[in-house]
Amino acid sequence: MKALIVGGRGQLGRGLAATSPAGTCIVSHDLDTLDITDASSVRAMIRVERPDLLFNAAAYTAVDKAEGDESAAYEVNAVAVGILADAARAIGARFVHISTDFVFDGTSGIPYAPTAPTNPLSAYGRTKLAGEKRAGEDALIVRTAWVYAPIGANFVRTMIRLMGERPQIRVVADQIGTPTYAPGLAAALWSLAGQERIGLYHYTDSGVASWYDFAVAIQEEALAAGLLERAVPVVPISSAAFPTPARRPQYSVLDKSSTFEALGGAAPHWRSNLRVLIGEISTNG
């Protein structure tokens, strides 16, 4: 089997390459080798590579910046998705697209099912929802949230750095969701794709947390692993005390029951995967 990964240098793209099934031929592209908003370039590349499976792990993820440049976000998160999906469909390749919890408004008191009504609050959320629609009914679309990995810019690495630099950390405590370990998400995507699933699925690690909960756990694990020399106060604050250009959903826990059934079991709890990640950083830097 031949798989093409778009967004190959990102956290998920690297995770997909690292967790690919034995015998899979991987072709990876990123911004410097493929403009996914250029239909002719995408079609030409697809015709040459002729993958069996196309993963779209690329996205415009600058959530706050998108508020002032929604058109640029739309090109990457929506228009490019349609281009990739059409190019894959033209050669009979299966298309896997990654979406986000930001398609929901966060007013639910229970986890969001894949069939729950969408109502994005931000430009990022609106453009990602538009991308879902452009992916088509024959695509596998997996929504996820709070993704982090051993490499790249993410909340875990940022918290460890700030905790080593500052006497105190202030973290939002009233936004609730679930962290997601990128290699675990990647393995789930391979499994779902291998079953030739199509339609909407949700995947994150198991459990629930606020950003404050996540930060406290990061410090505890980093201290235990020797990545931090001292503990600093982690102060819970409200979203109102930390205003941002883009509105975030206050509650974006995703219902993964149908996904876990398809995978044959639940994902590890986020705290367990955090410990794995901290161990990797401790070993590899």
Active site residue 124: yes
Q: How far, rounded to the nearest angstrom, does the alpha carbon of residue 188 sit from its chain's CA centroid? A: 12
Residue tagged active-site, from 124, 181, 203, 251:
124
269 bridge partner residues: 206
How would DSSP label each residue in 16-37?
HHHTPPTT-EEEEE-TTT--TT
Pairing of the two strands 25-29 and 2-6: parallel
Alpha-carbon dihedral sign for residues 161, 165, 167, 169:
negative
Beta strands in 21-138 (DSSP E): 25-29, 53-56, 94-100
Q: Give the CA distances from residue 239 to residues 44, 196, 234, 251, in Å, rounded to whole numbers and listed in that order.
A: 46, 40, 15, 12
Q: State the catalytic residues.
A: 124
